[in-house]
Amino acid sequence: MNNLKAEDIKTILIIGIAGGLAQSLCKRLHAAYPQAQIIGVDSRPLEPSTLPNVTYQTIRYSRGNFENLFRESAFDLVYHLGRVSHTNLINQLSVAERLDLNIIGTSRILDLCLKHEIKKIIILSTFHVYGALPDNPAFLNEETFLRASIAYPELRDVVEMDQLASSWMWKHQNHIQTIVLRPCNILGPQIKNTFSRYLLNPWTPTPMDYNPMFQFIHESDMAHALQKCAAVVPTGIYNIAPYEIISLKEARKTLGVPGVQTPLFILSHLAEVYKRFNPDIPNYLLDYLKYSCLIDTHAIRSFLGNDFCQYTSKDTLKQLKPAQKR
């Protein structure tokens, strides 16, 4: 199937519009497709949009609400950025509730996209689906098995959502263009996720005898990649990260937040102690401080080019400093 042309995109749906990344994406889509009507939906409260041709709706992610939305608007392009994180501090949900929202909710969205003949859907997953494991290769490509839920049940819904979307994508590849994106850690002034909270918290552990490597992508670069995927990236699964990698110690130094120096061999044993003082830091994060989980990005670069990221990892980390001082 051919990629969408600008004139093919008349109506766009963004699911999860209250998030910082979705807001950045919305502005880019509005600039790229000024003729398009953009509808953003979220279950969280929303302020009205100030952009022309952009409207927001607060809806519950039920089949009835989505059915009405798809019936009333002939969407050409859908972005599904509405995955519910288990580290959402505003609304802590049980595993069963997250499974319902992430798995059943995604299944509803995909079925409606097929039923209403949407041209293209772009789904945001995460590199966390691979898992940080001692036998990981130096770089993980899109063919790597998803093993995150083996050690950590709290990532089960993330892995199952990715597998559901990927399986559905290949099954219906001749009827609808589908892209599943697995980005590295997304950071930026508008992003408040697990890793940004970890980095900005001076009471989180930092291995004193090991220096793990990480990839960080700026929210602006990620929004740019999401926007470009509509026009130039075909159906498939893609890792997204900048070329460069940076060590945890260098990242801490850039931010000026040293963390708590901790011997590697007792890191796991202190998990519950750290959780007591840092309830927003999940247990699985500790393994990302012990084992490599770097992703290969050759596939996406063949379409977006090698220079689609404008921010280096250091520049991205510096963008977090104002949030630290507030």
Stated pTM of the model: 0.92
Q: Write down the mean pLDDT value for the chain.
A: 88
pLDDT on residue 237: 98
Average pLDDT over residues 286-299: 92
Q: Is the pLDDT of residue 230 over 50?
A: yes
Average pLDDT over residues 71-99: 71
pLDDT on residue 279: 65
Average pLDDT over residues 120-145: 95
Sequence ranges of the domains in the chain: 7-191+216-243+295-310
Nearest to 105 by CA among 63, 68, 69: 63
Least confident of 45-59, 97-111, 156-170, 290-304: 97-111
Q: Which residues lie below 8 Å from residue 34, measured CB to CB, with a gap of 6+?
A: 53
Residue 318 token pair: 């510096």
pLDDT class for 89, splitting at 50, 70, 90?
Answer: very low
pLDDT above 90 as % of the chain = 60
CA distances in angstroms from 201 to 187, 204, 313, listed in the order given: 15, 6, 19
pLDDT on residue 123: 97
Q: What is the pLDDT of residues 242-277, one digit of tens each?
A: 989 999 999 999 999 988 888 888 877 776 677 676
pLDDT on residue 85: 60
CA–CA separation, 202 vs 257, rounded Å?
6
Q: Is the pLDDT of residue 187 over 70?
A: yes
7-191+216-243+295-310: in CATH 3.40.50.720: yes
Higher pLDDT, 276 or 42: 42
pLDDT above 70 as % of the chain = 89
CA–CA separation, 273 vs 104, rounded Å?
34
